[in-house]
Amino acid sequence: MTRFAAPRAARYAIGPLELDADRLVLSRAGEPLALGPRVVGTLAALVERAGEVTTKDEILDAVWSGEDVGESNVAQSVYTLRKVLREHGLGDAIATVQRRGYRFTAPVEQLKKTVVADVPLPHAGAGAGTASRWAASRWLTAALSVALVFLAAVPAPRAVPHAPPLSARGAELYQLGRYYWNLRTAAGLAKSRTLFAAVVASDPCSPLGYTGLADADLMTVNYRQEAAHDHVGAARYFARARAEIAKALALDRNSAAAHASAGMLHSAADRDKRAAEAEFRRAIALDPSYAVAHHWYGTTLFGQGRLAEASRELRTAMSLEPVAAATDVWLAETAYYQRRYADAIAYSRRALDLDPRRFDALRRLGLAYELAGDLPRAIAVFKQLRESGFEPDDASALLAEAYARSGRPEAARAALLRARRAGEGNTAMAMLALGERARGLSLIGAMRKKYGAPTLLDPRFEPYRNEVGPLAGSSS
């Protein structure tokens, strides 16, 4: 395979659009378009060889170097690019060259070319680990660049007469805090908490620093497994968030951010969905542009089985804050439960494009492929999920089910042996796919008694619903 050089630090004019191939940002009139770095990277690979054929392998090597992905990734990115370019009057700028690849046919003007030191790409004999590290490093640089561009355009919740606006320094700290908070990792949440504490120090009369601290505590319980399973620790985080929300509301009873945080506290700590919904509605009424309120309201509606409403709120959140991978993950979940598997695949891929570490998106991607009937891709995704180390037992159970569905019972049984601590639902589905009907249905029945009648039902259980009654699903 021919090695394709990493994009140089160059800018290109493509009709009304400008491509920054170094930061992987596509913009119009200075406003960045809501595209992930992998999609823009695909455009950069095509534009830098405008008029020539760029093979799919060359694009994979440039954009997904060292990753175990297939040509469908390229096709999805090209599909997205064609739609965006067409919306901006560029027609059919990407031509398909049968059995070879693509050719970029629109006029391209290089605005600036700054020669920089070559990025040390792995040579043909380099291991996948080296390539993956290079790809991850490049992704982190590009993602941060994209995020910071968007942060400049995404405002904090609207100021109201009762609270002073953030100072320039406070606004910068707050926006950076939200960026790290949106990563939903232990390190990102810890970093966001430090930044929100700095907002409190910088602007002590603003409620936003306190709501940021509360949100960091609330998401720590959600995304850190040790916090979620340690009830004493979780109670400590919730108590701290409750005090921080009280401080924010004392400063401004009409703070949209504070009411959104209160809604999440009611949902996560108090399990009071009605109170949570009331707070989210109030937050949105106070500031319809506050993406976090729409996102959390959407996840609450999802937990109640109100999927169409959840999808609407989550799409609104994505339009307001397009770099939040967590929103795409929830959109993928909602589409999956609505049996819209093509949409679930697209949202999962977009989440992974924004953040390759979102292994929950990878899991949903595999399940969507499976129920869409694309078992080879589902198996490839579940293998990648297991190798990632994210919930390896559940990944093995999912892989066992996919193997069984594809007529490979021996591989399925071998995978199931590795799934010793998998969740009941995934284990049950693997057994059912293997023909062990009595054991699988028994496990689902026990699961129903343990968790009660859920609002949402995994589509995989559809053929067995009448036999075991209400089944366990997802909520939160």
CA neighbor of 73 nearest in space, from 328, 327, 369, 319: 369
Asked whether the predicted pLDDT for residue 150 surpasses 80, the reply is no
- Containing domain of residue 87, as a range? 9-138
As a whole number, mean pLDDT of residues 234-243 equals: 94
Distance CA 52, CA 50 (A): 5
Q: What is the pLDDT of residues 362-407, one digit of tens each?
A: 999 999 999 999 999 999 999 999 999 888 999 999 999 999 999 9
Length of the chain: 476
Residue 267 lies in a domain: yes
Phi, psi of 316 (to 5 degrees): -65, -45
Nearest residue to 300 (alpha-carbon basis) of 218, 366, 243, 234: 218
Do 119 and 221 fall within a single domain?
no
Both 60 and 160 in one domain: the answer is no
Give the residue, 131 or 269, on which the prediction is more confident: 269
Identify the burial level of 114 via C-beta atoms within 10 angstroms of its C-beta, where 0-12 means exposed, 13-18 middle and 19 or more buried.
Answer: exposed
Specify whether the CB–CB gap between 142 and 24 falls below 8 A: yes
* Residue 435, both tokens: 């023909």
- When comparing pLDDT for 373 and 142, which is higher? 373
Least confidently predicted of 65-69, 212-216, 379-383, 395-399: 65-69
Which of 237, 306, 252 has the alpha carbon at shortest distance from 282?
252
- Structure letter (DSSP) for residue 348: H
Q: Tell me, what amino acid is at 276?
A: A
The DSSP 8-state label assigned to residue 23 in this structure reads T
Could you tell me which residues come within 8 angstroms of residue 76 by beta carbon, excluding any fewer than 6 positions away? 346, 349
DSSP 400-422: HHHHHHTT-HHHHHHHHHT-TT-
Closest C-alpha among 213, 328, 195 to residue 265 = 213
Sign of torsion, CA 273 275 281 287? negative
What span, in angstroms and rounded, lies between the C-alpha atoms of 150 and 261?
23
**Would you say residue 105 lies in a domain?**
yes
Percent of the chain with pLDDT over 90: 50
The pLDDT value recorded for residue 224 is 65
* One domain, residues 378 and 464: yes
How far apart CA 257 and CA 8 sit, in angstroms, is 41
Q: How many domains does the chain have?
A: 3
Separation CA 443–CA 452 (nearest Å): 14
Residue 3 lies in a domain: no
Place of tokens 């398909």: 96
The answer as to whether 32 is a domain residue is yes
How is the beta sheet containing 25-28 ordered, strand by strand? Answer: 31-32, 25-28, 17-20, 9-14, 109-114
Task: Assess whether 213 and 308 both reside in one domain.
Answer: yes
Boundary of a domain, candidates 305, 334, 363: 334
**Residue 123: pLDDT band with limits 50, 70, 90:** very low
Looking at the fold, whether 133 and 156 belong to one and the same domain comes out as no
Neighbours of 424 (CB within 10 A): 16
Q: How many helices (H) and strands (E) does the chain have?
A: 22, 8
352 inside domain: no
Q: Residue 465: pLDDT above 50?
A: yes
Q: How far apart are CA 176 and CA 148, in angstroms?
A: 8
| Strand segments (E) across 281-402 | none
pLDDT above 70 coverage of the chain, percent: 81
Q: Look at the pTM and tell me if it is higher than 0.85.
A: no
CATH number at residue 283: 1.25.40.10
pLDDT of residue 144: 55
Question: Does 424 have pLDDT greater than 70?
Answer: yes
Task: Pick the last residue of a domain from 84, 109, 138.
Answer: 138
Give the DSSP H/E element, type plus range, for residue 11: strand 9-14
Top mean pLDDT of 140-144, 191-195, 442-446 is at 191-195
- The answer to whether residues 158 and 134 belong to one domain is no
- Whether 29 has a pLDDT exceeding 70, the answer reads yes
Q: Is residue 383 one of the residues assigned to a domain?
A: yes
Q: Highest mean pLDDT: which of 50-59, 65-74, 307-316?
A: 307-316
Residue 130 pLDDT greater than 70, yes or no:
no
Q: Provide the CATH number for the domain around residue 53.
A: 1.10.10.10
Question: Among 215-219, 332-336, 406-410, 447-451, which stretch is predicted with the lowest mean pLDDT?
Answer: 447-451
pLDDT value for 121: 30
The string of pLDDT tens digits covering residues 240-290 is: 999 999 999 999 999 999 999 999 999 999 999 999 999 999 999 999 999
Instruction: Average the pLDDT over each of 132-146, 230-244, 261-275 and give the range with the smallest value.
Output: 132-146
State how far the Cα of 476 lies from the Cα of 462, in Å rounded to an integer. 21
Rounded to 10°, the helix 168-183/128-153 angle is 140
> What are the angstrom distances between the C-alpha of 214 and each of 21, 237, 255, 422?
37, 9, 14, 32
Write out the two tokens for 468. Answer: 């075991």
| Helix or strand run (H / E) with residue 110 | strand 109-114
Spatial separation of the C-alpha atoms in residues 107 and 109, rounded to whole Å: 7
Q: What is the mean pLDDT of the chain?
A: 82
Q: Are 32 and 124 part of one and the same domain?
A: yes
- Is residue 425 predicted with pLDDT exceeding 70? yes
DSSP state, 464? G
pLDDT at 126 over 50: no
Same domain, 118 and 170: no
Q: Are residues 252 and 312 in the same domain?
A: yes
The token pair at 226 is: 């040790």
Task: Supply the DSSP symbol for 33.
Answer: P
User: Same domain for 431 and 405?
Assistant: yes
Tokens standing for residue 323: 């770099």
Residues 24 and 67 in one domain: yes
Confirm whether 40 is domain-assigned.
yes
Confirm if 174 and 141 have CB atoms less than 8 A apart. Answer: no
Q: 179 — alpha (psi -120 to 50), left (phi > 0) or beta?
A: alpha
DSSP string, 118-174: PP----TT--HHHHHHHHHHHHHHHHHHHHHHHHHHSPPSPP-TTSPPPPHHHHHHH
Residue with the bigger pLDDT between 476 and 383: it is: 383
Q: Position 367: which residue type?
A: L
Average pLDDT over residues 67-94: 82
Supply the pLDDT for residue 132. Answer: 41
Which candidate, 196, 351, 218, 204, places its Cα nearest to that of 279? 218
Q: Are residues 134 and 170 in the same domain?
A: no
Name the pLDDT band for 475 (thresholds 50, 70, 90): very low
What is the three-class DSSP state of 22? coil
Domain annotation covers residue 277: yes
pLDDT of residue 79: 83
pLDDT reported for residue 148: 52
Residue 20 has pLDDT above 90, yes or no: no
Domain boundary among 138, 169, 191: 138
Q: Helices 341-354 and 37-47, interaxial angle, to 10°?
A: 80
